[in-house]
Amino acid sequence: MVVNILIASVGGQGGHTLARVLAYAAVLEGYNVRVGESLGMSQRYGSVKSFVRLGNEVRSPTFGYNEANYLIGLELLESLRNVHYLRLDGKALVASVLKPPFMSRDDYLRLRKEDVILRLKHVLRDNLVIVDADEAIKRVGNPRTLNMVLLGAFLSASNLLSIRVASEAVIHVLPSKYVEDSLKALKTGYLLMRR
């Protein structure tokens, strides 16, 4: 068994950090893990993808279209652009954040968050969970921890990893000055999915 997870984000949102924490937690749980990342546009506001694969035996760090069991989206448009990676029975957990990548800002400045959410709902139907980013950030008090909110939501939706192990990974991977808020964000995302 191999579980494929695609993380879609914009540079500066912490997509790569989310992938590192998720991978470390999976290793702590005893999984074999491979991570692949798109590094070309990872500067602030560029389009960013991270591939995380975990299972009993994982050989390749990436996967193709229609192979992701989960899509974790930190930004709406990037999530919409990457839905083709999701399997028909896959699940998408997407933050309600519209922050178009720099390369496409002029084309998408007129877009409304609600329009992109409607499009995602049309494409993914019951396989989509929109995570209320505004509520989560208000609860945590730090907008830079949205990536950990989405990790918490993923933990709750997938039941692949425990929140205890993910908390250990946060403590190990992140600089100490970010740990407290990140742990709060992780728990917030987890509890948002339990309501």
Place of tokens 């390749």: 60
Mean of pLDDT values over 64-85: 96
The β-bridge partners of 71 are: 6, 92
Whole-model pTM above 0.85?
yes
Q: What is the pLDDT of residues 11-37, one digit of tens each?
A: 889 999 999 999 999 999 999 999 998
> The domain 2-128+164-172 belongs to what CATH superfamily?
Pyruvate-ferredoxin oxidoreductase, PFOR, domain III (3.40.920.10)
14: which 2 tokens?
Answer: 């912490």
Element at 135 (helix H, strand E): helix 133-140
